[in-house]
């Protein structure tokens, strides 16, 4: 009788032990999860000169108790390129997302976003942001030459002034124009200021004129400068010789 009772107690204890193991495994399996934590989600690079690039670093760690996976990193602008050496991080492991911002063609206040997709159920998509100010140190006035409506066949003339704070003396090279009826010449060159004279012969314009002036400079943020030129014939004069 005692032997049967002892066997019953042993069996009961074994069952209890199996239940505890099952509960522990269940909690460990279902309770473990990754958790991504960023030191900061915003990077302010301050003020830079147009044409410069800046590296923005976002530090993070896996504060969870299972493997963290980075599925995707994408930005709202091609001017911000992201990089990450690896995509999986063990619990407690740290990582760095590097974003390079290229300011060419940008000016003024900058606000761009980067979205990081992970297997963290509480942070499926993390929004990172970069901000700052891009200072344009050169001007082209006007930025385009628009002669507007023309009703008289004549030579159209205008001037374009280019100034900069980047260099002491502007250098202009390889000036080209399209089409042939568009001409440009340098009429003044004094240190950081260059003035161009733009001429268009309207005798062969039948409806509208679209031209372009291209040249290279030593301005760091404006190595290649393009100036569009427009003109259009008045509606009542269209078709006249």
For position 18, what pLDDT does the model report?
53
For position 14, what pLDDT does the model report?
54
For residue 48, tell me if it sits in a domain. Answer: yes
pLDDT tens digits along 47-67: 998 878 899 999 999 999 999
pLDDT tens digits along 123-151: 999 999 999 999 888 888 999 999 988 87
**Looking at the predicted structure, is the pLDDT value of residue 224 above 90?**
no
For residue 9, tell me if it sits in a domain. Answer: no
Last residue of a domain, one of 105, 135, 165: 135
For residue 56, tell me if it sits in a domain. Answer: yes
Is there a single domain that holds both residue 85 and residue 98?
yes
Is there a single domain that holds both residue 166 and residue 93?
no
pLDDT tens digits along 169-195: 898 888 999 988 899 999 998 888 999
Contacts of 29 (CB under 8 A, 6+ apart): none
Is there a single domain that holds both residue 118 and residue 148?
no
**In the predicted model, what is the mean pLDDT of residues 91-103?**
94
CATH number at residue 94: 2.60.40.10
pTM of the model: 0.58
Is there a single domain that holds both residue 175 and residue 128?
no
**In 58-150, where does DSSP find H-type helix?**
none
Is there a single domain that holds both residue 175 and residue 219?
yes
Is there a single domain that holds both residue 193 and residue 129?
no
**In the predicted model, what is the mean pLDDT of residues 220-240?**
77
Contacts of 33 (CB under 8 A, 6+ apart): 64, 65, 66, 120, 121
**Cα–Cα separations (whole angstroms), residue 204 to 147, 153, 228, 237:** 15, 9, 19, 13
Q: Which two tokens stand for residue 154?
A: 């004549």
Structurally, how many domains does the chain consist of? 2
For residue 19, tell me if it sits in a domain. Answer: no
Is there a single domain that holds both residue 116 and residue 145?
no
**Looking at the predicted structure, is the pLDDT value of residue 154 above 90?**
no
For position 32, what pLDDT does the model report?
87
What residues make up the domain containing 103? 36-135
For residue 212, tell me if it sits in a domain. Answer: yes
For position 10, what pLDDT does the model report?
54
For residue 41, tell me if it sits in a domain. Answer: yes
For residue 15, tell me if it sits in a domain. Answer: no
Is there a single domain that holds both residue 41 and residue 130?
yes
Is there a single domain that holds both residue 47 and residue 131?
yes
pLDDT tens digits along 11-38: 555 555 555 444 444 444 456 899 999 9
Last residue of a domain, one of 135, 153, 184: 135
Is there a single domain that holds both residue 187 and residue 128?
no
Is there a single domain that holds both residue 142 and residue 185?
yes
CB atoms within 10 A of CB 239: 9
SS3 content of the chain, % helix, strand, coil (to 5): 15, 55, 30
Is there a single domain that holds both residue 166 and residue 232?
yes
Last residue of a domain, one of 115, 135, 155: 135
For the chain, percent of residues with pLDDT exceeding 70 = 83
For residue 127, tell me if it sits in a domain. Answer: yes
């Amino acid at each position: 009788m005692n032997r049967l009772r002892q066997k019953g107690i042993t069996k009961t204890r074994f069952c209890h032990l199996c239940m505890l193991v099952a509960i522990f495994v269940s909690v460990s399996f279902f309770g473990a999860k990754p958790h991504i934590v960023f030191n900061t989600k915003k990077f302010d690079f301050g003020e830079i000169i147009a044409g410069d690039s800046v590296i923005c670093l976002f530090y993070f760690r896996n504060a969870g108790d299972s493997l963290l996976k980075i599925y995707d990193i994408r930005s709202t602008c091609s001017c911000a390129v992201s990089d990450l050496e690896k995509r999986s991080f063990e619990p407690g492991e740290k990582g760095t997302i590097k974003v390079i911002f290229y300011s060419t063609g940008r000016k003024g206040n900058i606000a761009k976003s980067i979205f990081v997709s992970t297997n963290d159920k509480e942070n499926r998509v993390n929004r990172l942001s970069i901000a700052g100010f891009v200072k344009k140190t050169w001007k082209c006035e006007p930025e385009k030459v628009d002669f507007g409506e023309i009703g008289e066949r004549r030579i159209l003339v205008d001037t374009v002034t280019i100034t900069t704070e980047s260099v002491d003396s502007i250098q202009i090279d390889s000036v080209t124009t399209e089409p042939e009826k568009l001409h440009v010449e340098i009429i003044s060159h004094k240190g950081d200021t260059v003035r161009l004279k733009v001429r268009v012969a309207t005798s062969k314009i039948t409806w509208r004129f679209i031209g372009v002036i291209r040249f290279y400079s030593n301005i760091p943020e404006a190595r290649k400068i393009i100036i569009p030129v427009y003109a259009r014939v008045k509606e009542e004069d269209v078709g006249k010789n």
